[in-house]
Amino acid sequence: MTSSQFRHRAMAVATAVALAAASGTALAQSPVRIGFHAPLTGFAAADGKSALLGAELAVEQVNASGGIGGRNLELIVYDDGAKPDQGVQLANKLLSQDGVKLAISGSYSGPTRAAAPIYQTAKVPYISAYAVHPDITRAGNYVFRTSVTGEVQGRAGAKLIGELLGKKRVVVVTLNNDFGQSLAAGFKSAAKDFGIDIVTEYTYSIKDRQCGPLIASVKADNPEAIYASGYFFTAGPLVSQLRAAGVDAQVIGQEGYDSQKFIEIAGPAAEGVIITTSLDRDSKVPATADFISSFQSKKGHPVDMVAASAHTAVWVAASAMRAAGADDPAKIRDAIAATDLVASTGRISFNGLGEVRKAVQNQVVRDKGWHHHSMIDDAKLLAPPEQ
């Protein structure tokens, strides 16, 4: 071999080594991409955008603390408009086009429930941040939920009203969708255990903003307390109109109220309303307190349950990927199932169905803000479904 040939051969080898090293470095530094869908447009856009803000804050924190094995975490975000058919389409897109190894729903029960079987069939872990329908985790063992189900929260509402507040004559006002019906089912199943007499149950639509006939009937019932399901955009008008009509019974809501927007819509009528939820605004637990202050500082407005729930879901995903690696969905699934994590919405662990086990926080509106009222940490009462 001539010296010229040797030099050419050496250069070729050096080039190949450099390319291989560069390729390996690029692979090591490529981001870990996880799917995320939320209703960024449509009637639920405020919740979807809040969920995204919470998820984005979690990603910033994960990356600032070393990422996933030195690789940055990255969200692939899609808008589902709170529509079940979009949940299915986006699941297929995230799996086939984007090739994600894990996905998170920052959305309502409709699209989450529709998407869950798609991820189960693909054997890719899927985490529901706050959708409450019980059938979501029943899709299979790759599906998890970091918030309590509607029925569990409904049972907590019964204890809050009957035991903690000592109210016995109760009117139930149920939002006529999956969310409202699951809450009502849980409340009614536990009401007698806490000495509650359900005087009447009324239903209303997610489109209703004027509730005159319903409110007139509630006033005639003269209850001690009203257990009313709803989202901030339905509950705000409902509570405002109840107070304007002279109904002074204690109003108990749920996590759908859990937004500063409820207080803005209901105005002075919001004062004294109590809800069951996942986020304690006055918590001294570092994971919760740091999240609340960081969110307020970065986003410029008070946090809500939806943002906290999405934040928790991302941290559950990141913790599992740190433990199991980012590329094997089966190992990631097993790591999620073994989770024992203190997150912004409390200590997170899962049962065999992928349902979270945690306490319920009760928050009250005081001085135009949400504050700690009490906590329900009754393992038997709050036991999630097992099958």
Q: Are 335 and 328 in contact (CB under 8 A)?
A: no
Residues whose CB is less than 8 angstroms from the CB of residue 303 and which lie 6 or more positions away in sequence, other chains included: 54, 279, 281, 291, 292, 295, 296
108 CB neighbour count, 10 Å cutoff: 29
Predicted local confidence at residue 166, as pLDDT: 98
Helix, coil or strand: residue 57: helix
Domain with CATH 3.40.50.2300 in the chain: 31-148+283-356, 151-277+364-376
Helices 45-64 and 286-299: crossing angle in degrees, nearest 10, is 110
Q: What is the pLDDT of residue 200?
A: 96
Measured in whole angstroms, the distance separating CA 171 from the mean position of its chain's CA atoms is 27
Q: What is the pLDDT of residue 223?
A: 98
- Output the pLDDT for position 29: 79
* Contacts of residue 149, Cβ cutoff 8 Å, sequence gap at least 6: 132, 133, 134, 182, 186, 355, 384, 385
pLDDT on residue 137? 97
Answer yes or no: are the C-beta atoms of 180 and 228 closer than 8 Å: no
Compute and round to an integer the Cα radius of gyration of the chain. Answer: 24
Handedness of CA 288, 302, 369, 226 (dihedral sign): negative
Of the CATH numbers 3.30.70.580, 3.30.160.100, 3.40.50.300, 3.40.50.2300, which one belongs to the domain with range 151-277+364-376?
A: 3.40.50.2300
Which residues pair with residue 33 across a beta bridge? 74
pLDDT at 22: 39
| Residues in the chain with pLDDT values less than 50 | 3-28
Q: What's the confidence (pLDDT) of residue 228?
A: 97
Q: For residues 125 and 332, is the Cβ–Cβ distance under 8 A? A: yes
Q: CA–CA distance from 156 to each of 186, 190, 322 (Å)?
A: 8, 8, 34
Helices (H), the chain: 3-29, 45-64, 84-96, 109-122, 150-159, 178-191, 212-221, 232-244, 260-266, 286-299, 305-324, 329-337
Q: Which CATH architecture best describes the domain 31-148+283-356? A: 3-Layer(aba) Sandwich (3.40)
Strand order in the sheet with 143-145: 73-79, 32-38, 103-105, 126-128, 143-145
